[in-house]
Structure formats: C-alpha cells, structure tokens
Amino acid sequence: MRAAARLAAKTFPHPSPLPEGEGTNRSILHDNMIDVLHVPAFHDNYIWLIRAGNRVAVVDPGDAEPVMQALQRHALQPAAVLCTHHHADHVGGAAALASRWGIPVYGPAQEPIPAVDRPVDEGDTVDLPELGLSFSVLFTPGHTRGHIAYYGHGLLFCGDTLFAAGCGRLFEGTAAQLHASLSRLAALPGDTRLYCGHEYTAANLRFAQTVEPDNPDVRARAEHVRQRRAQDLPSLPSTIALELRTNPFLRTASPTVQRAAETHAGTALASQTEIFTSLRRWKDGFQG
Ligand code: ZN
Ligand code: FE
C-alpha cells in the first residue's frame, strides 16, 4: 500500500491534469472558491472532497479513516456524505463519518444502503447550504441497478458509471442501460469536470489504443497519464470533451470503433447499443 499517498489529500489541480484549454481549475460561485480534493483509498479508489471555504461534502467514502485524516490535516469540517451506489468501496465509511459528525448521508433511493438517511433519485436536488452549493441527481443505472451521479457547478461525480477512458463493469444492470446512462453523461457540457471512483485510466487507455490504434488523442492522453502516474498524481479529473475524443465507450458512433467491435465480435453490429455491448464484453476479457 502507498502509505504516504493515503495521507495526502492534494488540492486539484496543481499541476492541472487537463490539457491546455480544457477548462478552468476552479469554479467561482458567489464569493466562494470551490475545489475538489482527492483522498486515495484502498488500492485504486478515490474519495472526493468538494470544498467551499472550510466545509466539504464527502463523495463515496469507502473508508472513513483516510477521510478523517484529510479533514484534520486541512482543518475541514464535513457537511454531508454523497454516495453513488451501494458497493462497499464507496459506502463503507459513510456510517462512521455520519455518526462522528452528525451529518446526512445522501444515496441512491433504489439501492438498500443502511447508512443512507437521505435517499435521492432522478430529478432530486441535493442542497448543501453550508457550502452554498447544490447538485442535481442523475439516475445512471448499469454498473448497479440504482446507481446515481451528482452534477452541478460544472462538476460531475459519477462513481463507477463513467470512468476516464472507460466505463464500469455490468454487475446488475444491462448493457443497454449502461449505454443509455453513458450517453446521458456524454451530453453534458464539454467542459464539465468528471470525478469518477477509481484510478483505472492507464489500463483503460491501453484498451482504447487497441480499439483505436490510430487515434492521436488517445495516444497523447496515454502519454500524459503515464507522466502523471509516474509522479503518483491522479489522472483525474477528466472532462466530457476529453472523454468524447478518447473513451471508446462514448465513441460507438465512430466508424473505426464500429469496425473494431465488429472484427472482435466476428459479426456485423446493427446499432450503437450492440457496438457498446460488444466493446464492454471485449474489455471484460482484455489483458492489457
Ligand atoms: Zn462499484
Ligand atoms: Fe468501485
């Protein structure tokens, strides 16, 4: 385990993981500066702290301990916990944080999560008055049956639905559901900054390069991510615009991606959902 990294909640993005021109580093809302800190957990999870002033919302705390340490280290006080889905690596620390701080835990209404006392669903708004922020809830099933994402202020917290250069595995939902969820996220503004649940980007890009060996954006991103990871820096956040150029799961309309999926499947694929389904299956067995 990277003991040192577990303690380090670094402020994003200095240096910025985004290519030049991909968006600003911070959003200014009222007089508040919002920024997002990362807390590494387990092997490759990220717990996100949405910060305004000295208050934070904690996204997907699979483990309470590294969050407590980050809060103490940066003199921050949590206002709420936001969970995207029921997997233990995303909710395991929620109950401990809630009881330690007496804060609400938001989570997907359609999944049974004992720690969640504020179930939310598509169309709901999560108001965080302590931060002066509010987030819309998007229903994004596929990885799990009731998975949700939180979107607001140009930030997207999408758990294990959309990953940088990849997407979540199908544990409970169908490929068609996950494809529809990803298509929805792909339609958000291009400069939306995307914070997902895992550091899987390098492996995802090896698959992306196999699907689209001649995509120059994929190649450039792979090199950029290699440099970031060599310094033990996160590859995140990404942006929707960058995903549209480099994530094969968002590129099912590309003739190159379609051809690659058809070649791998050994059959013609009639729809984008079929192309997506074939890519997801291909990735499941991919040894990059
Ligand atoms: Zn998960
Ligand atoms: Fe996960």
Tell me the pLDDT tens digit for each residue of 95-147. 999 999 999 999 999 999 999 999 999 999 999 999 999 999 999 999 999 99
Question: Are 186 and 158 within 8 A, CB to CB?
Answer: no
Beta pairing class for 77-82 and 55-59: parallel
Compute how many other C-beta atoms are within 10 angstroms of the C-beta atom of residue 267: 11
Residue 15 has pLDDT above 90, yes or no: no
Tokens of 213: 């060996």
196 Cα: distance to centroid of ligand 2 (angstroms): 9
Any idea which ligand is nearest the CA of 196?
Answer: 2
Instruction: Assess whether the previous peptide bond of 15 is cis (omega < 30° from 0).
Output: yes
- pLDDT, residue 32, reads 57
Of the ligands numbered here, which is closest to the C-alpha atom of 143? Answer: 1
CA-based nearest residue to 175, from 285, 286, 279, 287 = 279
Q: Which ligand is nearest to the CA of 62?
A: 2
Query: What does the alpha-carbon distance between residue 3 and residue 211 come to, in Å, rounded to a whole number?
Result: 35
Placement of tokens 């895992």 in the chain: 198
Distance 84 CA to ligand 1 centre (A): 9
Helix, strand, coil % (nearest 5) of the chain? 35, 25, 40
Pairwise CA distance, residues 69 & 127, whole Å = 25
Plot region of 154 (φ>0 → left; ψ -120 to 50 → alpha; else → beta): left
Cα of 139 vs centre of ligand 2, distance in Å, is 17
Q: Active-site positions?
A: 85, 87, 89-90, 143, 160, 198
In whole angstroms, give the CA distance from residue 213 to residue 209: 5
Please tell me the distance from the alpha carbon of residue 134 to that of residue 128, in angstroms, as a whole number: 6
- Give the distance (Å) from ligand 2 centre to CA of residue 19: 26
Q: How far is the CA of 88 from the centre of ligand 1 (A)?
A: 8
The ligand minimizing its distance to the Cα of 42 is: 2
CATH class in words for 22-284 = alpha beta
Ligand 2 centroid vs 250 CA: distance in angstroms? 20
Q: What's the pLDDT band for 12 if we cut at 50, 70, 90? A: very low
Question: What one-character DSSP code corresponds to residue 249?
Answer: G
Domain boundary assignment for the chain: 22-284
pLDDT digits (tens, 9 = 90+) for 157-216: 999 999 999 999 999 999 999 999 999 999 999 999 999 999 999 999 999 999 999 999
Q: What's the pTM value of the predicted model, to 2 decimals?
A: 0.90
What gap in Å lies between CA 62 and CA 180, rounded to an integer? Answer: 26
Q: Which ligand is nearest to the CA of 108?
A: 1
Residue 231 clears pLDDT 80, i.e. is over it: yes
Q: Tell me how far the alpha carbon of residue 267 lies from the centroid of ligand 2, in angstroms.
A: 32
Residue in this structure with the two tokens 């701080």, named with its chain if needed? 101
Q: How remote is the CA of residue 173 from the centroid of ligand 2, in Å?
A: 15
Arithmetic mean of pLDDT over the chain = 91
How do beta strands 148-152 and 118-120 pair?
unpaired
Q: Where are the beta strands (DSSP E) in the chain?
A: 27-29, 32-41, 45-52, 55-59, 77-82, 105-108, 118-120, 125-128, 133-139, 148-152, 155-159, 162-163, 166-167, 193-196, 238-239
